[in-house]
Structures are given as structure tokens and as C-alpha cells.
A and B are shown apart, each in its own frame.
Chain A
């Protein structure tokens, strides 16, 4: 029991903080943060655990979002089924492109993913314009039916749902980090020859990680679709390609709480700074350079040792009292 508690307390603490944030922050902002941190989680896992930097996460985001949108616009009304379809689409696309992509070196991987994002952008904007309505996007907010227990068409209920999903995803990734598979991922990032020597297949490990990470991203996409009730090709444009990478770095690469911290910091800065001066990219850009120069640890990566130190001291002195 104690073990389970120790395993969980970090997640519980983080999420109780997130729940407290809900009270102080406006609802759209909290929803944005939650979805954005799910979106970033996949990228953070890829970058921190497997060593793949992906500039093409919007491709998977858009896949999930459009799959959900197609369902809700043309076929059904139940948002849960829509999200499920989004997840399936995510699994499907990562299984199709994964075997081709994970063979590539890390630098080519980043570029190829960007290319995929551009391809999907033009597909949604031009080639499939007859069903995606091109730049106008699909609007289906009124199509979403109210569901019995958690009504996803209402933002405050949606927040609870998003919160639970995020909690589940965090628990899943924490579990994953502790399993053999998580260790294999890290090993294949650090020294792939040794992994091969130990009898594991780098290809399989990476493919698995790729599928898991991008399914998470697709889930975030379908949640965006349900939350906003609208999708447009703009979400996969090249301008936004680096958002998840920026947030990952901002929060701290490969740390479990980095994505939450990064998402809060990024969304917060976007809102605050764009209110003060016109171009917040200026600030984000220089912050990014500063973080890279300061040792690429990010906000959470810098805070974590300090927090641990503070908590650890308390724990040491408690029994003696």
C-alpha cells in the first residue's frame, strides 16, 4: 500500500495543483492547458525517452482531429465514439508511417515528420477540399449530442473529462517509464549497438514508442476537435510545427511533469505577453535560446532538484522528531 502511494504521490500532487488552478483560472485557459499538455506528452516521450525530435507532431494531431471531425460532421453525434475513432486513426497512421520513419536517423526523422505535416496540411486544405471544406474548416459544435454522465458539449464537464484523461495518460507514462520497455527505450536512445547486442530489436522498440507517442498526440487532436467543435487545416500548418517541441524544451526534456509545466508556461506567456506587446514569438524565441545555453534543462528540470532537496530534507528530519 505504501509503495503504491509513493508511486502515485507525484502524480496526485501535480494533478491536485492542476485542479486548484481550475478555481483560479478561467475555464477556456484551463482546458487549453490540459489538452496542450496531453499534446506535448507524446513529443516529450519521443524526445526525452527515445531521442527522436519530431517537427511534425501537428500531422498526428490533425489526423486525430479530422477523424473525430469526420465522424461528428457526417455520421454520428456521440463525442465519445468520435474520440475513440480519433485514437484509432492515430494508431493507424503511426502504424503506416512508423516502419518507414523509425529507420531514419534522428536528424532526418525531424525533417521527414515536418514533410508529413506539410503533406497532410495540403491534403486537408486542397486535395480533399470537397469533404474537409478547405480553409473554412468543419463546424460541428451543434452536432455534438449531450451524453448522460459527463456532458462533453459543456465546457465545465469537458474539463473534468480532459482532466481524467490527462491523469490516466500520466499514470500510463509513469508506469511505462518503470517497465522494461521504458528502460529499453532509454537504452536505445543512449547506445543502440548495445541494445542490439543484448538481443533486443531497436526497430521494434522505436516503432512501439512511436505508435504510443503519436496515438497520444492523436487523442489530443480529437479532444481539441470535440472541445472547439471545429477543425481547420491551420492546426497542421508549418508555422505551428514547433509548438510541442518548444513546450517540451520549456518544461524540461524527458521529465514527467515537464509537459504540464511547459504547457502552463507557454499558454500563460502567450496570453500575457500578447496582451502587452504584439509579438510574443520574440520572447519565446529568446527564452528558448536562453534555455538551450543555460543547459537545456527547462523550467521543470531546473525546479525538480530544488524541490526534491526541500522535500528530502523534511523527510529526513521527520523520523527523528
Chain B
């Protein structure tokens, strides 16, 4: 049987990875729910967040300022992309928005390569202190990452349920035409949602940067996992995304303790299984094409 210490650190590791996945997948999920686009360029904002974190933390020495700056820059870039590209293609078929956003992703990765170069960059971990839980040493930073993602979930929940814009967004996920009929400018809602999604992806990149090396391909490396999180949770559902993000995180982390090659493959097998039983994911509603 597995050793308890290994198990606890494995669970914490899985939860922190899951938190990162959640922060990124929520953007994809919201964009799909409201605008019916599959926005692969969230992965670009993730890389941008990580790189800005790297640069700022190199200059000021504080990773937290870097993550904040990364969030802001990712938000601004996503605003620009939404204005110049997505505004023109919302009406198109979902497959085409997917391809266009993939084009943005590859182009953006090219820009990142030409600015920062190909070499992977390390970002220092802001807090090296460890606390002990049941005799296992746990890095505090990972716990903070988990806490931040839970706070974000709470914030998103409050935003969607307690503010008028959030309520309009939720109504838009149900039926955009009716919302438009009520005299609400849906394109402004789209822009708001897109910026929120981009900012959260930037935050995910910033928080993930100290745990891994920052390199130009980092977005493409997490892409399959983010897809999987979104699919298992059901496109368009926030709660489903949270649950499936933590599920996938645990499978990746605990799976690698049992049999290393399996860790990368098991989540995909689980996803296939879930899709076969329930083709819309765990919490996905039967969304019809507009």
C-alpha cells in the first residue's frame, strides 16, 4: 500500500495542478457557454501571463507583482484580440472560430518566441516555507494556489449570481436572442466575458510559472489537459469545470505515483469513458447550435 506521506503530498500536488487547470478551463467554458466559440487562444494568454510574471519578477524581485502584471497584460491582449478578430467571427460556425483561435495561438506563440527566445526560463518560487500536515512537509505556495482558485470560483459565482451583468451573462448562456430582445447589448457582454476569461488565464499562467519552467510551447503542452477538463465538466458549466479540474489534477498526480506512463494517459481514457456514457460531459446541458 502507498505510503501516507506520499499520498498526502500527491493529493496536494493534484489539487494545485487542478487549480491551475480550473483557472484556465473556466475561460474556455464561459466563452463556449455564452458566445459558442472554442477559444483556444486562452492558452496564449496563459503563456503571456507566465512570461510577464517572469519578466516582472526578474525586474522587481516579487513574483506576486509579476502575476498581477501578467493578469493585466493578458486581459489587455484578450481585449484587443476580441475587438479585432472575434467580433467579426461570432456568427460563424463553431469549428471556424476554433481554427481562427488556433491561428491566433500559433501566431502568438511565434511572437513570444521572437520576444523572449526559445530557452526555457525559471521563475523563483515566492515562498519557500513549508508547513507540516500530518507529518508531511507541504510547500505553502501550493496551498496558496489552491486557495486563490477557490476564491476565484467564489468570486465568479458571486459575479454570476449577484450582479446584473453576471445575471445577464447567465441568461445569455441559456438563450442569447431573448437577452438581446430585452435591450441588452450582448456584444458588450461578450467582450466582458472574454476579458474575464483572458485575465483568469493570465492568472493561471502567472501562478503556474514558479512550479514549472516558462517556455514558448507551454500553452500547447497543457492544451490536451485543458480540453479534457472542459469536456469532462461539460462545456459551459462552471461547477462541472471545477469538479473535473480537480478530478483530472488528482488523476494526473496520483496516477504518476502508481505507474508513471499511465499518469499522462489515464485522464484521456477517463474522458473517453465519460463521453461514451454521457456525450455532453458531467454537467453539460444539451446545448443546441444557434
Contacts and interface: CB of A to CB of B under 8 A. Distances in A.
Interface of A: 47, 51, 53, 100, 103-108, 110-112, 114-116, 118-119, 122-123, 125-127, 238-239, 242, 245-246, 249, 277-289, 291-293, 296
Interface stretch (B15-23, B67-75, B124-132, B272-280): B272-280
Given A107-B98, A238-B220, A284 B235 contact: no
Contacts, number: 141
B214 interface: no
Given A106-B95, A108-B231, A285 B107 contact: yes
A292 B90 CA distance: 12
12 contacts: A105-B279, A107-B95, A112-B231, A116-B272, A118-B265, A239-B217, A249-B99, A281-B109, A283-B110, A284-B103, A289-B104, A292-B100
Given A112-B272, A127-B265, A53 B110 contact: no
Interface string B82-97: 0001001100101110
Contacts of B275: 100, 104, 108, 112
A281 B94 CA distance: 23
Contacts of B260: 126
Contacts of A100: 272, 275-276
B224 A115 contact: yes
Contacts of A239: 217, 220
Contacts of B92: 292, 296
Contact of B107 (A107, A110, A245, A286): A286
B231 A110 contact: no
A115 B228 contact: yes
B150 interface: no
Nearest to A125: B261
B12 interface: no
A112 B9 CA distance: 31
Interface string B240-277: 00000000000000000000111011001101100110
Contacts of A112: 231, 271-272, 275
Nearest to B107: A285
Contact of B110 (A106, A111, A245, A281): A281
Given A108-B231, A115-B227, A285-B103, A127 B110 contact: no
B95 A104 contact: no
Contacts of B264: 118, 122, 126
Name, among B92, B106, B114, B264, the residue most crowded by chain A CB atoms within 10 Å (CB to CB): B106
Contacts of B105: 285
Contact of A288 (B32, B106, B114, B261): B106
A126 B261 contact: yes
Contact of A282 (B85, B96, B113, B276): B113
A53 B261 contact: no
A291 B74 CA distance: 25
Nearest to A117: B224
Contact of B279 (A103, A238, A285): A103
Contacts of A283: 110
A285 B106 contact: yes
A123 B265 CA distance: 8
Given A122-B261, A123-B265, A292-B96, A282 B224 contact: no
Contact of A114 (B85, B94, B217, B224): B224
A24 to B, nearest CB: 29
Contacts of A114: 223-224, 227
Contacts of B88: 293
B139 interface: no
A249 B93 CA distance: 14
Contacts of A291: 103
3 closest A-B pairs by CB: A282-B110, A285-B107, A288-B103
Given A108-B275, A115-B268, A122-B265, A282 B114 contact: yes
